[in-house]
């Protein structure tokens, strides 16, 4: 057997030596062109989308930046040249204590809404995961209807529910004996005003979180849960130590998205203020920028506030993108 192997090796030795001596073929011009084309293809595919975004957002954002660096008022709308003031508008808003009140109010409002939205969305997702097919379809349809309702329509409906004279909430609380809520104005106090706004924002944000987390729950391996159950883990321990760690990437993504969305809340606050609620003690940064620009004709100050809001949203978006990239690296 050793003699046969040695003879076979000697027979193929000239071919092996020739293969080692043969010089490697350098890539031709056509090969290099194909390689460059394959590398450039993804950029060419996204180029139309980038061009549309630049055309739709680039110029308005540029005009907003320029406006925030100028002194622009009612006279400039009739052709008077705007005066270049640099960063004076930003110094004005940063030195205004009301700006910091509005900013902190916006941050706290956003955090409370995000916490409630994620927690309720997670509970509903767990409920969907445990329901039967028929009940799951019914609950999903209700969530989908709430999600599909426009923000303006949903806000008007909730406004009428909390109406001072004809609201169902006042009538129901009075009938239940909780207190005398006849004629109670929910929009007249900052805390109750923001509580009503929180109910609306959370009600509209929960369906997306619930659907997304439910999709993540369907990807949790049943074998892992069964193994934990065999090892004696209770239902709470399986949820806390198995399900939630596996669901953590999805939770981070929906939380980051909810922060971005709730930080930019405008419609709910503005409609409730127009319905008779107080404005100065309930302004969020988006609504305040709009009121200064349109209501007071201080377009330069409003543009500076909008720039601060854009920068904050961009920072939050970077957090979201970082979580997306990290999720791709883990997968």
Q: What is the mean pLDDT of residues 81-99?
A: 87
Selection from 35-49, 122-136, 170-184 with the highest mean pLDDT: 122-136
* Widest Cα–Cα separation across the chain: 107
**Nearest Cα residue to 256 out of 326, 165, 154:** 326
Q: What percent of the chain stands above pLDDT 90?
A: 20
**The pLDDT of residue 331:** 58
pLDDT tens for residues 295-316?
888 888 888 999 998 888 888 7
**The pLDDT of residue 12:** 46
**The pLDDT of residue 245:** 84
Sort residue 183 into left (φ over 0), alpha (ψ -120 to 50) or beta.
Answer: left
Calpha distance 270→197 (Å, rounded): 10
Calpha distance 59→66 (Å, rounded): 10
Calpha distance 278→272 (Å, rounded): 9
8 A C-beta contact, residue 148 and residue 240: no
**Nearest Cα residue to 247 out of 133, 126, 110:** 126
The residues, any chain, with a CB within 8 Å of residue 20's CB and separated by 6 or more, are none
> Helix 59-68 vs helix 299-330: angle between axes, to the nearest 10 degrees?
130
pLDDT tens for residues 230-257?
777 777 878 788 888 888 888 888 888 8
User: Can you list the domains of the chain with their CATH numbers?
Assistant: 110-282 (1.10.3720.10)
Q: What is the mean pLDDT of the chain?
A: 81
Q: What are phi and psi of 191, to 5 degrees?
A: -65, -50
To the nearest 10°, the Cα dihedral for 191, 192, 194, 197? 170
8 A C-beta contact, residue 252 and residue 325: no
**The pLDDT of residue 210:** 92
Under the banding of pLDDT at 50, 70 and 90, the label for residue 37 is low
Under the banding of pLDDT at 50, 70 and 90, the label for residue 51 is confident
pLDDT tens for residues 99-141?
999 999 999 999 999 999 999 999 999 898 888 888 888 888 8
- Higher pLDDT residue, 113 or 326? 113
Q: What is the mean pLDDT of residues 262-287?
A: 87
**The pLDDT of residue 2:** 46
């Amino acid at each position: 057997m050793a003699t046969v192997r040695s003879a076979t090796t000697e027979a193929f030795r000239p071919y092996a030596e020739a293969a080692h001596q043969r010089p490697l073929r350098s890539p031709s011009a056509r090969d290099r062109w194909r390689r460059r084309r394959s590398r450039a293809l993804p950029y060419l595919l996204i180029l139309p989308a980038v061009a549309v975004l630049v055309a739709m957002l680039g110029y308005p954002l540029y005009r907003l930046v320029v406006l925030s660096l100028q002194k622009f008022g009612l006279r400039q709308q009739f052709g008077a040249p705007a005066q270049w003031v640099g960063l004076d508008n930003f110094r004005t808003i940063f030195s205004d204590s009301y700006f910091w009140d509005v900013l902190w109010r916006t941050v706290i409002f956003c955090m409370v809404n995000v916490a409630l939205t994620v927690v309720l969305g997670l509970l509903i997702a767990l409920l969907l995961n445990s329901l039967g097919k028929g009940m799951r379809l019914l609950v999903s349809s209700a969530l989908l209807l709430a999600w599909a309702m426009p923000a303006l329509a949903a806000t008007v409906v909730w406004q009428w529910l909390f109406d001072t004279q004809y609201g169902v909430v006042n009538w129901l609380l009075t009938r239940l004996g909780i207190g005398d809520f006849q004629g109670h104005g929910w929009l007249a106090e900052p805390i109750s005003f923001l509580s009503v706004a929180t109910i609306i924002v959370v009600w509209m944000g929960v369906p997306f979180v619930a659907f997304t987390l439910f999709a993540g729950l369907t990807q949790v391996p049943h074998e892992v849960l069964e193994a934990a159950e065999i090892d004696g883990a209770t239902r709470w321990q399986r949820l806390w130590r198995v399900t939630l760690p596996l669901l953590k990437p999805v939770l981070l993504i929906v939380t980051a998205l909810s922060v971005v969305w709730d930080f930019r809340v405008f419609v709910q606050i503005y409609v409730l203020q127009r319905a008779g609620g107080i404005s100065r003690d309930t302004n969020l940064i988006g609504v305040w920028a709009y009121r200064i620009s349109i209501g007071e004709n201080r377009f330069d100050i409003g543009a500076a506030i909008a720039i601060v809001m854009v920068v904050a949203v961009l920072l939050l978006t970077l957090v979201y993108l970082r979580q997306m990239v990290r999720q791709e690296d883990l997968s």
